[in-house]
Amino acid sequence: MLTLLQLYQGLIHRKPWIRKFTIFYLVWASLWAIWGLIIGNNVIVHVVLLLLYILMIFYLTTPMVQWYFKKIYRYGKYVLYTKLVTLRSGLQLPIYFFSQKNPKSGHPTDLPEGYIVKENEKSHMPYLKKKDNKHVSKTKSKSKKKKTEQTNKPKPEIIYVVNNEHDKDHPEPWIVKSHTTTYEYVRTKQKAIQKARDLARKFKARVLVQNVHGKFSHGFTPRTSKKQ
């Protein structure tokens, strides 16, 4: 009796496990009917039972039954329902509402993605509210702003090769730098010039090299390598 009561409650409350349990039971019962046919015991009865079991299994796999037992959202004594509403423009939109009864204008459904359930302080009636996406929007805005700043960051127009013998913190006597950025400390002037030329090709800049008098030679733009 307790099992029958649980099955009845599961059927009324549309529990998905009821359909699976019933299909399992019918398959098990079908095996017994097949065994009865094999041993020749009450052949007609077992044929009728086997046909009934097979028909019931097919019925439980139909879309109508699957829809009846699909997952629904409950909030206390309320069930979430949905229905399609046609606007004046002809566009159809789904609306969601909670109800204790079985309204004819909608059918039970699961909680839609992107929504949370809130409760009215006065009536204690549940309702749906969109999730707060402020944090996500701020993160996207910051990321977009940072990307824009990086894109708009001015590229160096001049790459300098500077003598750095007076700097005791760095043993390398030459620096490759721009107005705002120090790129590398180099031991020889030749390597510093080569590094500056590589950067100039990358940034489409000019190179200025400091001479023995402390002055810079006239700037030049390195030639780009020609494609074969």
- Whether residue 228 is predicted with pLDDT greater than 60 in this model: the reply is no
**From CA 147, how far away is CA 156, in angstroms rounded?**
18
What is the DSSP code string of the chain?
Answer: -HHHHHHHHHHHTT-HHHHHHHHHHHHHHHHHHHHHHHHTSSHHHHHHHHHHHHHHHHHHTSHHHHHHTS---EETTEEEEEEEEE-TTS-EEEEEEEESS--TT-EE-PPPTTEEEEE-TTT--EEEEEPP-HHHHHHHHHHHHHHHHHHHSPPPSEEEEEE-TT-SS---SEEEE-SS-EEEEESSHHHHHHHHHHHHHHHT-EEEEB-TTSPBPPPB-PPPPPP-
Give the model confidence (pLDDT) of 177-214 as tens digits: 887 788 888 888 888 888 888 888 888 888 888 876 66
pLDDT in tens, 62-107: 887 776 777 778 888 888 888 888 878 778 888 888 888 878 788 7
Query: pTM of whole model > 0.85?
Result: no
**Torsion angle of alpha carbons 71, 73, 77, 82, nearest 10°?**
-100
Q: Over the stretch 145-186, which tens digit does the pLDDT of each residue have?
A: 666 555 555 556 788 888 877 766 667 888 888 877 888 888
- What was the pLDDT predicted at 167? 64
**Higher pLDDT among residues 217 and 76, named by residue:** 76
